[in-house]
């Protein structure tokens, strides 16, 4: 019986939290996240390094469109955000060679990442598991 009371209390608290939170804020965030992914996709096929589109340069170029100015290295970008779960529009970071964060891209929210790749020589969208050394993700907006 005690477990039922605790579960009911938790459900009541969750319901009140959902009623208090602003749905327009959540919808706006989702729209921004999707806009970031679409902006990143518009760069697909751009040669690596063109217009400054090396990995962290690419993420900087995309986020600049949304008023966010990111530092110039993957490691600096890692420390400029808030840890996240790698949802759409979040930055995702990799330690490809075991010497620290060396690569960054933008999560799509569907298990892929859009990134400027030296391997492919261009901005591409690939499954996240194909990039070695996943470190974590960050939300910078």
Tens digits of residue pLDDT in 80-123:
989 999 999 999 999 999 999 999 999 999 999 999 999 999 99
Q: Which of 3, 97, 103, 110 is catalytic?
A: 103
97 is catalytic: no
Number of domains making up the chain: 1
10 is catalytic: no
- In a domain, residue 108? The reply is yes
- In a domain, residue 12? The reply is no
Q: Which of 3, 10, 97, 115 is catalytic?
A: 115
Tens digits of residue pLDDT in 64-73:
999 999 999 9
Question: Domain span at residue 112?
Answer: 29-139
Global pTM reads 0.79
Give the CATH number of the domain where residue 46 resides.
3.90.1720.10
103 is catalytic: yes
Q: What residues contact residue 72 under an 8 Å CB cut-off, 6+ apart?
A: 56, 57, 60
CB count within 10 Å of CB 124 equals 19
| pLDDT (0 to 100) of residue 36 | 97
- In a domain, residue 89? The reply is yes
Q: Which of 3, 10, 55, 97 is catalytic?
A: 55
């Amino acid at each position: 019986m005690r477990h039922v009371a605790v579960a009911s209390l938790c459900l009541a608290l969750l319901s009140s939290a959902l009623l208090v939170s602003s749905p327009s804020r959540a919808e706006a965030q989702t729209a921004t996240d999707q806009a970031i992914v679409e902006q990143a996709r518009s760069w697909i096929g751009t040669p690596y390094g063109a217009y400054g589109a090396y990995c962290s340069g690419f993420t900087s170029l995309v986020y600049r469109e949304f008023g966010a100015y990111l530092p110039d290295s993957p490691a600096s970008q890692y420390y400029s955000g808030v840890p996240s779960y790698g949802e759409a529009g979040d930055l995702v970071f990799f330690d490809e060679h075991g010497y620290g964060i060396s690569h960054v891209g933008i999560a799509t929210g569907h298990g892929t990442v859009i990134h400027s790749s030296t391997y492919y020589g261009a901005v591409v969208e690939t499954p996240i598991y194909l990039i070695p050394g996943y470190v974590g993700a960050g939300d910078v907006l």
